[in-house]
Chains A and B, each alone.
Chain A
Amino acid sequence: MIPISYYLLLSAILFSIGVFGTMIKRNMVTIFMCIELMLNAVNLSFVAFARYHSLIDGQVFVFFVMAVAAAEAAVGLGIIVALFRNRQTLNVDEADLMKW
């Protein structure tokens, strides 16, 4: 059996990749993919802990997270489409009408 620390390490690595991705990537769609990566890291950690504690509620939580992530992606893509129609760009740096 693989010890839980392996799962947690993988989850932490995935989460960090996601966080750094949201900071350094400039394409809106890529940023959303990085956010999904963060959420999946959370899911992995929840499932690992649920298995470790032999409990079911952590696994149920993962379903909620997945469903909400799907809704979030739908709303996010809708916003991106609306923005793209008005500006013809996917670069977040160009969304700079408002500063300070």
Chain B
Amino acid sequence: MLMDNLQSLRYFYPELTLIVAMLVVVIVDISFNRLRNVLNPLLTIAALLIAAYFTAYVNHGQEANLFLGMLALDSFAQFFKLFLLLAALLVVLGSLHSEELLQVHQGEFFALLLAVTLGMLLMANSINLAILYLSLELVSLTSYIMVGYLKGDRLSNEASLKYILFGAISTGSMLYGFSLIYGMTGSLNLYTIRDAFLSQGVQGFDQFTILLALVLTLAGFGFKTAAVPFHFWCPDVYAGAPTPVTAFLSVAPKAAGFAILVRFLFSGMTQTSGSEWGLVNGINWPLVLIGISVLTMTLGNIAALTQNNLKRMLAYSSIAHAGYILMGSVVLTGEGLKSMLIYMFVYLFMNLGAFLVVTIIYNSDRSFEIGDYHGMFKRAPFLTFAMGVFMLSLTGIPPFAGFLGKLYVFLAVIEKGLFWFAVVGTLNAAVAAFYYMRVIKAMVLEEGNGKTAPLHVSFLNQALLVALLIPNLILVVFWNPIERWTASSVKLFSGL
């Protein structure tokens, strides 16, 4: 159902809530000097919850074509919106007691965070290249600022510069790809583009132009998801940014990047009916995606082995996880898509948890070096336990949630008959076990470095740790609702 602008507003409440909240936060920030540090977080949390309510209940199960073919409302977008709002909410809670951010003025932080979240929600349901580009830039530009948020900090500055240079060049390349696609098909709408490709057949187009356009476009998506040839910014940006921002970047924009990648491939390039993957003849799509995925996970895991800075290590580990998530896209069926969603869902809890521990330890020790984590078990047993769970979960060891993600991804690949690909993935998980275990070893087995005072963990952070631990521990038992939820979320909007 094609809706005009006024009709669409009814389905646009989540985004409208975020826009209003963003403006209110800015106003509160400049007008209430005393109350703003209390009001702004509360407003942000309330806005995220209200947006999640609208997404989950009011827009539930609807399928519509909003704003004259700009946005699609479907269960796929609904999954991503809830996922992104949850990630933003957890990051807001985790940033409240972060010493790094407390030094600087906080009002803009929440406004920026709401702006990024708005951009990501739009990314998740855009079906037009124009809105796709605009929402992607909204996310990118705001995250450049968030990365460089510590103005006097040289690392933060440098991270921000590297981010914006890589980001601008990759989105420039992506735009050139868009312009070529527009030139070939005469449309910016993904479904019309697909129909143009299908009706004329790929033979009707110059093979080299198609190849060039799609490779350039993938550069932009690869940058957002930090897949391998476009990953160079990732470790530096993650290491230099304030830790809550790093936690946010490692989960939310990455997931939004996967959302547009999936939308672009599934609705823009293939028939929705099934596994029609020979559409663009010049390119063997599964092979290209397998190549990117294998490279991404292998490089991420091997580079993580030698890192001594925990933030950098987690950055490389997040690159590796992007590789695992991409494994699901290779299969190009509902099953593969479902495994991607499950992996992202469990990845949210384990990765945000790991970064929360890093934030807490930095608050008292001012260090990200693994060497300074020695003897942490004696100083903060609960924190060490939590970190152990998150690390084992990231490795994919059975009783924890990370196992569920890896299981589904590998299953999807094996069902397709790509056994060697699953073997590569498993070997990679074994390599990854080494550096995750190294953190646990440093915290538990190594002798302390002289510091014996118990580490202070604020009540809020303890509650948040528990909240992140619970999904990591119980999701394996309660996998059934997750599976049903994701299985119902793989329905992409079918077209005009």
Contacts and interface: CB of A to CB of B under 8 A. Distances in A.
Interface stretch (B3-11, B56-64, B174-182, B329-337): B174-182
B316 to A, nearest CB: 10
Nearest to B177: A42
Interface stretch (B233-241, B369-377, B448-456, B478-486): B233-241
Nearest to B159: A98
B148 A82 contact: yes
Given A82-B148, A92-B161, A42 B155 contact: no
Given A18-B172, A42-B172, A82 B144 contact: no
A28 B165 CA distance: 9
B27 interface: no
B183 A45 contact: yes
Contacts of B179: 11, 42, 45-46, 49, 58
Interface string A77-100: 011101100110000100101101
Nearest to A83: B157
A29 B312 CA distance: 28
A79 B148 contact: yes
B476 to A, nearest CB: 35
A72 B236 CA distance: 20
B165 A49 contact: no
A13 interface: no
Contact of A79 (B129, B157, B172): B157
How many chain A residues sit at the interface, stated as a range, is 35 or more
Nearest to A45: B179
A53 B186 contact: yes
Contacts of A38: 169, 172-173, 176
Contacts of B187: 57
B96 interface: no
A71 B141 CA distance: 8
A11 B162 CA distance: 26
B164 A61 contact: no
Contacts of A82: 148, 151, 157, 160
Interface stretch (B13-21, B130-138, B347-355, B384-392): B130-138
Given A42-B176, A95-B158, A79 B188 contact: no
B240 A98 contact: yes
A55 interface: yes
B134 A68 contact: yes
How many chain B residues sit at the interface, stated as a range, is 35 or more
Interface string B221-235: 000000000000001
B247 interface: no
Contact of A22 (B134, B165, B239): B165
A42 B152 CA distance: 36
Q: Please report whether the interface of chain A is mostly helix, strand, loop or mixed according to DSSP.
A: helix
A79 B236 CA distance: 16
B168 interface: yes
Contacts of A19: 169, 173
A52 B133 contact: no
A97 B176 contact: no
Given A15-B176, A86-B157, A35 B168 contact: yes
Nearest to A62: B179
A71 B144 CA distance: 12
Contacts of B161: 28, 79-80, 83, 92, 95
Contacts of A79: 144, 148, 157, 160-161, 164
B303 interface: yes
Contacts of B158: 83, 95, 97-98
Nearest to A15: B176
A97 B155 contact: yes
Contact of A57 (B130, B162, B164, B183): B130
Contacts of B303: 100
B438 interface: no
B172 A68 contact: no
A68 B137 contact: yes
A86 B154 contact: yes
B157 A64 contact: no
Contact of B137 (A72, A92, A97, A100): A72
A75 B139 CA distance: 13
A95 B161 CA distance: 9
Contacts of A71: 137, 141
A58 B306 CA distance: 48
A45 B172 contact: no
14 contacts: A11-B179, A35-B165, A39-B175, A45-B180, A57-B130, A61-B129, A61-B130, A68-B134, A72-B141, A75-B144, A83-B158, A97-B154, A97-B240, A98-B236
Given A38-B169, A83-B160, A92-B161, 6 more contacts: A46-B179, A52-B183, A55-B186, A57-B130, A82-B160, A86-B154
Counting from the closest, the 4 A-B pairs by CB-CB distance are A38-B172, A49-B183, A45-B179, A53-B186
